[in-house]
Structure 1
Amino acid sequence: MTIQQTLTRCPAAERGKADFGWLKSAHSFSFGEYYDPKHMGFGNLRAINDDLVAGGKGFGQHPHQNAEIFSYVMGGALEHKDSMGNGSIVGAGGVQYMSAGSGVTHSEFNPSQTDEMRFLQVWLMPEEQNTKPAYDTIDLSDADKSGTLKLFLSRDGRDGSMTTQADASVYAATLGGDQSITTDLGAGRKGWVQVADGSLQVNGVALSKGDGLAIEGGGTLTFDAGQDAEFLFFDLAD
């Protein structure tokens, strides 16, 4: 770790909250009715919403433009339909990704009438405006993520990841027992860790479910002390 590197914990309890009955959501950054000028995003990361959706409920058709949006499904399943003609159901461990580009409408629903579903919805800002909209999905197995950073979204689509218009590389991982992960954040980049479940440490900083960690300054990052931990790691444009 370089002396210039700073790590700032963003506690789960300080996230913005929304409760619409059928939807319970926690916002890491300003979103919807939650506004905090100190939390408008981080680098080109604009939104992380931790959503719990009741059975048979969801988001009706609505438009997006010039945003890179992915949904990381934690439990249950998420059904997607859009104006590009795509339709899919993504279960736990899966990720659906949409590049809104010049404009697209879509809907997202919980296809189960009885079971709740949980997902993290993330917005990234694209490098270019008004590109051609696109949609993709990927399934991540338990083995893909166990004790390792599994790349699933990147600018160049490397290592079998989905391709995004944002200058970002996004990884998923699980961590437990004596597992440890070490990676390097490049100079001039920002990093963000979002804990989806469990707890872990990053360079000695203790994090629990719902916590975020803002990383400024390049250098080595070590993820360890995991207890049933599942998290996302973002390597972001400054």
Structure 2
Amino acid sequence: MKYIRKSEDRGKANLGWLDSKHSFSFGRYFDPKHMGLSVLRVINDDTVKPGAGFGTHGHRDMEIISYVIKGALKHKDSTGNEYIVPAGEVQRMSAGRGVMHSEFNASNSEEVKFLQIWIQPDVKGIEPSYEQKAVLRKGELTPIVTPNGMDGSLSMNQDASIYRLELESGKNFTLETESRVGYLHIIQGELVIDEQSYAAGDAFALSKNEKENLIALTDIEALWFDLPL
């Protein structure tokens, strides 16, 4: 395990209405040691105050996934989509040749907390598209975004997959990459690998043909990214 990203070392942006922690270089935060992994370019851990949000802005040629942890996120874009994404649901927007959108806290009384994830697509200039759904648990490792939308997951334009890992306290689980690379981002809980503990906001990468056994010290929710070399 060569790449470890501890929560307290992430980039930070606090704009009053937004408290954001950047796993990789983003906006005014730049660190050449943390530019992403494989096609995974952004993981922003965002908390937005009631009624506030990101005004209309543009994207192109990026797969943008919103994983809502707490509260609800209101999405509106230039293709006519206007939806609320509550905790427990996942949204994927393929920006393609260009799309304008906004994201606001759907509540005027409670914060919304979500992960904003960007993955570089394997095709450019396509028609923008949007998908949203609740992904029901299918064991300890549940696919939530995959290249072909397998097993009830969302689809995206890249040979990469995102899984939700859920473990009960005391359970063991083995992560392995074979001919791929992987990245685990912990949303909540605490686990240990080789006597090294990891908690909410921490992350680590596995290289090609690497295997690690993790032990959940508490109930765990995490995202596992299966990525091309």
Determine the structure 1 residue equivalent to 2:160. Answer: 168
2:13 matches 1:18: yes
Contact (CA 8 Å) 1:193, 1:214: kept in 2 or not? yes
Determine the structure 2 residue equivalent to 1:233. Answer: 224
Q: Find the aligned partners of 2:148 and 2:194 in 1 and give their Cα distance.
A: 28
Contact (CA 8 Å) 2:67, 2:91: kept in 1 or not? yes
TM-score (norm 1): 0.91
Determine the structure 1 residue equivalent to 2:78. Answer: 83
Give the fraction of aligned pairs with identical amino acids, expressed as a percent. Answer: 44
Contact (CA 8 Å) 2:177, 2:207: kept in 1 or not? no
What is the deviation of 1:185?
1.6
Q: Find the aligned partners of 1:169 and 1:41 in 2 and give their Cα distance.
A: 15
Q: Given the superposition, is the C-alpha separation of residues 194 and 112 from structure 1 closer, same or farther in structure 2, using an over 3 Å criterion?
A: same
Q: Find the aligned partners of 2:98 and 2:105 in 1 and give their Cα distance.
A: 24
Unaligned stretches of 5+ residues in structure 1: 1-5
Q: Find the aligned partners of 1:211 and 1:57 in 2 and give their Cα distance.
A: 27
Secondary structure class of the residue paired with 1:13: helix
Superimposed CA distance per residue, residues 150-188 of structure 1 (whole angstroms, 9 cap, x where no aligned partner): 00101121111111012211001222223333343221x
Matches within 5 A, 1:31-180: 31-141=26-136, 144=137, 148-180=140-172
Secondary structure class of the residue paired with 2:80: coil
Q: Find the aligned partners of 1:153 and 1:226 in 2 and give their Cα distance.
A: 27
Contact (CA 8 Å) 1:175, 1:226: kept in 2 or not? no
Q: Find the aligned partners of 1:202 and 1:84 in 2 and give their Cα distance.
A: 45
The Cα RMSD (Å) is 1.6
Unaligned stretches of 5+ residues in structure 2: none
Q: After superposing the two structures, state which structure 1 stretch, 203-212 or 110-119, moved more.
A: 203-212
Q: Find the aligned partners of 1:140 and 1:95 in 2 and give their Cα distance.
A: 7
Q: Find the aligned partners of 2:87 and 2:193 in 1 and give their Cα distance.
A: 25
TM-score (norm 2): 0.94
Contact (CA 8 Å) 1:138, 1:152: kept in 2 or not? no
Contact (CA 8 Å) 2:63, 2:93: kept in 1 or not? yes
What is the deviation of 1:10?
0.9
Contact (CA 8 Å) 1:65, 1:104: kept in 2 or not? yes
